[in-house]
Structure 1
Amino acid sequence: MAADLADDCLLAIFAKLETSDHNAFGLTCRRWLAIQNAARTSLTLKPCYNHHSSSIYSSYLPRLLARFPQLHSISFSGCPKLPATALRMLKESSQHLRSLAFHYCTDVSDKALCFLFAGCSRLVSVVLYRSSISDRGLEVLASSCPGLLNLNLSHCAAVSDAGVAALCQNCRQLRVLVITSCSGISGHGLADCSSTLESVEAESCPLTVDGLRAAVSGGGLRYLSIAGLRNWAGGSGSLAVIGGGMAAGLRVLNLRLCRFMGDDAAAAIAEGCPRLEEWNLGLCHEIRLGGWSAMAARCLSLKVLHVNRCRNLCDDGLAALQGGCRRLEVLYIQGCPKVTALAMEAFRLARGAVLVKPEESVYIGPCLDALFKVVTRRGTAIAQAHLTSEF
């Protein structure tokens, strides 16, 4: 009876099985094993920490690609080198491939990445964490994959604003861009970004004032993280460009460790970003009573606020927050030397519904977890931002 069923019927049956029964399905016969292999859409290769790792990848990777011909998502971690046979097979299966991830693949050359991207026109999600990608590789990726939605370039030392500009010009549907710790990116390449760009993570980047203005110029930004901003040449009010009107839809803003953040910038952002729901101001020492009062009066949508180790948050500033921010749900506060225990107790009594707690190791986005999950027509979940505390 089962032998008379068409392959699509068997695939439908396999999809409805419990996860624990998937392996048993393939043990029935060779045909059912082929159905099980065809149903697999993702593959994650973990790193091999020994001197034979290169030969292991060279031997098994082509076999895995041949066994699972319908892969939509492949993740490499610590891969020493991609053998030529594997590159060729990846290109041959590119009609199905939607997501590629390279974590710590420092030995995969820029030339190999260019060869691969040139044949993978349907990619929507690419992770190149600590890879050897260069501006040339980004140009090839941008021209080959105009439908790209998510790109992670964290710790890619060889990329610059020229590569980011190529992405912005060609990938007009880009939604999530991570450029954390890219020392060659000042933000100018984002000047032509599309209104679809919703999430930019640029922690520890040497952004300029014009570069930050370019990052918000698309008008569609909902998440922005510039924590630990490096070599900032602007004054304490320069961050006011975020509140200049182009980021009015911003929901989550991470300015942790931006010690030069002042009252003027805080007031401008509070007024120019009325939909802000989570704001991290940890270690922003230059915000004083004027800034806290402006936030209390204008941040009407704020649900989560981080004020850890803010040296100039005093009792009066906390009292201002106590009387404003009426939708506040969580206040992360610790290490504020000018806030007395009496002021903290008064805040708790007046705002009993607000959860007051110290900073957590993973903190950003509890109210917007779904925001950074971009789902394609084939149901591929693309990105979710997680930022970790440094202190």
Structure 2
Amino acid sequence: MKGADLINTVLPEEVLVEILRRVESKPDLDSCALVCRKWNHIDRATRRTVKIAATGNADRLLASVIQRFTGLTTVFIDERHPSSSFYSLGLFTPSKQRRNSLSGSRGRNRNSPGSSSSSAEGTGIEQNYISDAGLSLLALGCKGLENLSLTWCPTLTSLGLVSIANNCKALKSLELQGCYIGDEGLIAIGQCCKLLRELNLKFCEGISDKGLIDLARNSDSLISLAISSCPRISDMSLQAVASHCHHLVALTLELDSIKDESLISIAKGCRSLKSVKLRCINVGDLALQAVGSFCASLEVLALHSFQGFTDGSLYAISKGCKNLRELVLTDCNLITDRSLEYIARGCTKLEHVEINGCQNIESLESIGRFCSGLRKLSLVYCSMLLKNAFIEVGRGCSLLQSLHLFDCLKIDDDAMCQIAVGCRYLRQLHLRRCNEIGDKGIISVGKNCKHLTDLSLQFCESISDESLFAIAEGCSLQHLSVSGCHEITNNGLTAIARSSPDLISLDISFLLNVGDIAMAELAEGCPKLKELSLSQCTKITDVGLTHLVKGCVELEICNMVYCPLITTSGLATIVSSCAKIKKVLIEEWKVSKRTRRRAGPVLTSLCTEL
């Protein structure tokens, strides 16, 4: 009945609460909170997660968030982003009286002597990073806090983290990145937060062995540990982890100081490990052989920049880790095709293989023969890889869904045809600088891979409109990048626009033969387009953008630097016609004063030196 509030009068409140809890999209939640006072009250009481861009009077902002949302369990604080983006998300919209009060207090703070906040030049925005006092407010206001992430908060010390430890006993996950928090804070977390399960330390120069050893002794519930670029952490800490954290499941280490002995201790003491990711230049065969001997549950192994281990390490992994599903090898120059053969024969459950910069890898024959469940294959900078490597992959890996080939110079059309014919469930194909792959290979993909939704052909110079015609005939894309494919024209993009109504992102940068016709076709056929990159498209003009905005009303990101025929007027068309626009990349001199006033936050990634 028109005018009747059936939802609030008939639907029980507990049912409405459960409905709002199941809304995953934050913009949708914000919209629900604006429906009426009752929904706003429920949203305040039930919202569990908030992300805060902390600069700009951060403590006051944090206090306002805590006061509004009383049931928070997950808080992300990231000082790399301006607070203006927080206000624009609708999380904190004070009343007129409150706005005037805050405005007045800001003015007094800026002008009063001895104020701790300083005005940013030309903006009037206070640059007051979150302090220990702000973190203490969070601890007192959110005692049910379970997950806390602090990113690049330079003024925080152990004092703030001690407050979290003393008040948030339910804390399960803690991430510290670029925070100079000392050992005392970490020790307090270990002593008070007995439910801690995940700890992530990145660029924490103030934490040493003392803090991590004490935490390890008190955190037998820890299941995930990640340590990256913490120069004061050594083998002693890992030996403590091995002695006390027997339930550890995931380990990520990027530490140059770690040696074989500490990882051997981890392998022996933490036999439930399922994920091991290492970037440790002083670790070699002995450590990895221990992982193979003692970690039978291992499912994910990622080894980056290793120069000290050989094929013998992966032989041990293949013998002991039969459940391995994901293998990532980056810049491991001592391994050969024999390593892949060991893994393929011993770990037949393998689903994801990524090889990056391993110059002695030439063949994938064993992967194709023995890993029939392979779903993702990524080969980057493998210059020695032969085209015949894909014959067995095409024959044996019929479930392959994602293929990435970057700078694989010897892969040609015949190899691509082998993949297309044998891997008909392919959904994602990313090629970059594979100049031996031309229309023949991509036409085969269009004919055989009907499930393809994500295609990238960056700087594959042999690709022309014929490829896009075949793709348009056989596939409906959601993501397409043909950046640097100089032979592509309006005709090829027209075919894509008419066949892919669900297209979300498109990159046509460096296409010199694409003009306004393509923009008009996109407006007509791709109403869901959100991301568009047309940098260095010299034939696209303001007229093309006028056509574009008529149909692509969902556009959020538009990159258009070095487009000589796009002027100040074209930029104004984008920012005024696209209500959801979030980011525009363009030369600074094309931004008028009016556009800057109207869409300042949208131009935050402005090119200032072009």
TM-score tier (shorter): 0.7 to 0.9
Alpha-carbon distance in structure 2 between the residues aligned to 1:342 and 1:351: 14
Bigger drift between 141-150 and 343-352 goes to 343-352
CA distance in 2, matches of 1:155, 1:281: 24
Paired residues of 2:274 and 2:299 also in contact (CA < 8 A): yes
Code of the aligned partner of 1:60: A
Q: Does 1:40 align with 2:273?
A: yes
Letter in 1 for 2:329: F
CA distance in 1 between partners of 2:534 and 2:241 (Å): 61
Quick one: distance in 2 between partners of 1:151 and 1:177? 5
* Conservation of the 8 A alpha-carbon contact between 1:79 and 1:104: yes
Residue aligning to 1:25: 220
- The whole-number CA distance in structure 1 between the counterparts of 2:578 and 2:245 is 60
- For residues 505 and 376 of structure 2, the distance between their equivalents in structure 1, rounded to whole angstroms, comes to 22
Counterpart of 1:213? 443
Of 405, 413, 416, 1:179 maps to 405
- Which amino acid letter does the alignment assign opposite residue 527 of structure 2? L
Assess if the C-alpha contact under 8 Å between 1:161 and 1:189 holds in 2.
Answer: no
Counterparts in 2 of 1:276 and 1:258: CA distance versus 1, 3 Å: same
CA RMSD of aligned residues (A): 2.8
CA pair 170-267 structure 1, distance change in 2 beyond 3 A: same
Distance 1:93 1:190, change over 3 A: same
**AA aligned opposite 2:273:** R
Is this contact kept in 2: 1:94–1:122, CA < 8 A?
no
Cα distance in 2, alignment partners of residues 290 and 30 from structure 1: 63
Greater helix share, 1 or 2?
2
Instruction: Give the 3 Å change call, closer, same or farther, for CA 29–72 of structure 1 in structure 2.
Output: closer
Query: Contact 1:81–1:108 (CA<8 Å) still a contact in 2?
Result: no
SS at match of 1:312: coil
2:534 is equivalent to residue 307 of structure 1: yes
Give per-residue Cα distances to partners, 1:237-286, cap 9 Å, x unaligned.
334335432121x1111111222221111111111222211101111121
Q: Is the 8 A contact 2:380 2:404 kept in 1?
A: yes
Conserved 8 A contact 1:254-1:280: yes
**Mapped pair 1:245 → 2:424:** no
Q: Which amino acid aligns with 2:361?
A: I
What secondary structure is seen at the aligned counterpart in 2 of 1:202? Answer: strand
Q: Which residue number in structure 2 is paired with residue 365 of structure 1?
A: none
Task: With the length of structure 1 as denominator, give the TM-score of the two structures.
Answer: 0.77
Aligned ranges for residues 319-334 of structure 1 at < 5 Å? Answer: 319-334=546-561
Q: Please state which structure has a larger fraction of its residues in strand.
A: 2
Query: Does 2:346 correspond to 1:167?
Result: no
User: Structure 1, residues 353-382: CA drift from partner, whole Å, max 9, x if none?
Assistant: 3335118xxxxxxxxxxxxxxxxxxxxxxx
In structure 2, what is the Cα distance between the partners aligned to 1:152 and 1:280?
21
| Contact 2:442/2:471 (<8 A) preserved | no
Structure 1 residue 331: deviation in Å?
2.1
Q: Which has the higher contact order (CA 8 A, sep 6+)?
A: 1
Aligned residues: 334
Instruction: Please say if 1:153 is aligned against 2:379.
Output: yes
Unaligned runs of 5+ in 1: 1-14, 360-390
Q: Is the 8 A contact 2:375 2:400 kept in 1?
A: yes
Question: When the two structures are superposed, what TM-score results if normalisation uses the length of structure 2?
Answer: 0.51
Q: Is the 8 A contact 2:545 2:573 kept in 1?
A: no
Question: Which is higher, the Rg of structure 1 or of structure 2?
Answer: 2
Q: Secondary structure at the match of 2:506?
A: strand
CA distance in 2, matches of 1:100, 1:81: 18
Out of 176-185 and 15-24, give the one that drifted further: 15-24
Which whole-Å deviations, capped at 9, do the CAs of 1:138-162 have from their partners, x for residues lacking one?
Answer: 1111111101111111111233443
Correspondence for 1:364? none
Following the alignment from structure 1 to structure 2, what is the Cα–Cα distance between the partners of residues 315 and 352? 18
Q: Distance in 2 between matches of 1:320 and 1:84?
A: 58
- Aligned partners of 2:240, 2:355: CA distance in 1, in Å? 39
* 8 Å CA contact 2:216, 2:241 repeated in 1: no
Letter in structure 1 aligned against 2:197: E
Q: How does 1:329-368 map to 2 (within 5 A)?
A: 329-358=556-585
Amino acid at match of 1:39: S
1:346 to partner: Cα distance: 3.2
